[in-house]
Amino acid sequence: MTSEEYEERERRLTVEIDDAYKAFNRARDYWDRLCRERLDLRWQWAQQQRDDAQ
């Protein structure tokens, strides 16, 4: 492997790593939002059940 090949591969891997990290963060944000929505749904359901019982 030449120095140029090494540098090109290093640059390509750095770009791919950066892209993967951005995708990971987007997926984690989406997962967090879904979890918050489910928690809110469960809270609303429990509140409704409590109100109906009164």
Q: Sketch the domain layout of the chain as residue ranges.
A: 1-54
Q: Model pTM?
A: 0.73
Alpha helices in 1-54 (DSSP H): 3-53
What integer pLDDT is reported at residue 12 of this predicted model?
98
Per-residue b or e along 12-37, where b marks 16 or more CB atoms closer than 10 Å to that residue's CB: eeeeeeeeeeeeeeeeeeeeeeeeee
**Confidence bin at 16 (pLDDT 50/70/90):** very high
Q: Give CA separation, 48 vs 20, 36, 39, in Å.
A: 42, 18, 14
